[in-house]
A = this chain, B = another copy of it.
Amino acid sequence: MKKTYALAQFSMSDVYEENIQRADNYIKEASEKGACFLLLPELFERHYFCQVEDYSKFALAEEFSSSKTLAHFSEMAKKYHIVLPISFFERKNTVYFNSLAMIDADGTILGLYRKSHIPTGECYEEKFYFSEGDTEFKVFDTEAGRIGAAICWDQWFPEVARILTLKGAQLLCYPTAIGSEPVLPKDSKDHWQNVMKGHAAANIIPVMAANRVGTESVRKSSMTFFGSSFVSDEYGNFLATLDRKEEKLLLVDLDLEKCDQERTEWGVFRDRRVDLYGDILSLTGEKKNK
């Protein structure tokens, strides 16, 4: 049975309340258009503060159990009967994570995922702020299906998509903040999309990524996010895409049970040679588990 799934691509201001209002508007619109699920970009509460290393930003983090942001979106999920994966800056005592809470359509906060892969480098100074996540990979059983949720840099790792699918995911979603690479220099838009389309095709599962747009400047640094949010079908073909600048809700109809059937029929999950994959558990391809 087909259901409607949505993602929102937009720019952020540096005023928390304004971004929450923008997210709320998209939630309302998505719900009115029949969506059972809405994916918002990574860390949409503010500008992408990881562009530079700034000690003052640690004060922005919230505890999972007492987050006012999560309480707000729990109310919104319930009010609009929509599943909401919410990316937020998490503090647990003196340790900080780039986290995601999955909120079900009745407002229940189902659980927490902490971003496992943390990038660094010009404009993406996440290793300065975040510890590597300790939750392992998470699939959430929601009213919109079993959702495998990971965050931005996680999207570059085939291991994550594979494990989420093995754990029963029916849809993969990645809140994202990606754009300028001033030092390399490089436009990673196609590369970024191709990796995730590959995850979709290899695991026979639809994939959604929601990125921000706009230019954000801080100190002497500036970066432009390239949008290009998209949904891939279970064969790795684009179902829908946004461009590099538009601020918009993107809606697609997905039949997750049909994908489950296709995943069985194609036979790849029957034929995996798990006896041969030990090298994956090493950084260098030198086997650790035999």
Could you list which residues of chain A lie within 8 angstroms of chain B, going by C-beta atoms?
116-121, 132, 136-137, 153, 156-159, 161-163, 165-168, 184, 190-191, 194-195, 197-202, 235-237, 265-269, 271-274, 276-285, 288-289
Given B153, B168, B201, B266, which contacts A285 in the complex, CB threshold below 8 Å? B168
B267 touches A119 (CB 8 A): yes
Q: Once the chains are docked, how many angstroms separate the CA of A272 from the CA of B202? A: 19
A236 to B193, CA, bound (A): 9
CA distance A191 to B277 in the complex (A): 23
Residues of B within 8 A of A161 (CB): 158
Q: Which residues of B lie under 8 Å from residue A157 when comparing CB positions?
A: 202, 268, 272-273
Name A164's closest neighbour in chain B (CB-CB): B285
Q: Which residue of B153, B163, B198, B200 contacts A280 across the interface (Cβ within 8 Å)?
A: B163
Partner of A271, one of B117, B165, B279, B285: B117
* CB of A286 to closest CB in B, whole Å: 9
From B137, B195, B272, give the contact of A159 (CB < 8 A): B272
**CB distance B159 to A280 under 8 Å?**
yes
- Tell whether, in the assembled complex, residue B268 and residue A274 are in contact, meaning their CB atoms are under 8 Å apart: no
Complex Cα–Cα for A272 and B288 (A): 15
Q: Can you sample 27 A-B contacts with CB below 8 Å?
A: A117-B272, A117-B273, A119-B267, A132-B273, A136-B276, A137-B279, A156-B202, A156-B266, A158-B159, A158-B161, A158-B198, A159-B273, A159-B280, A163-B276, A163-B279, A163-B285, A166-B279, A166-B282, A167-B279, A167-B285, A190-B236, A198-B198, A272-B283, A274-B282, A274-B283, A274-B288, A280-B280
A132 to B266, CA, bound (A): 18
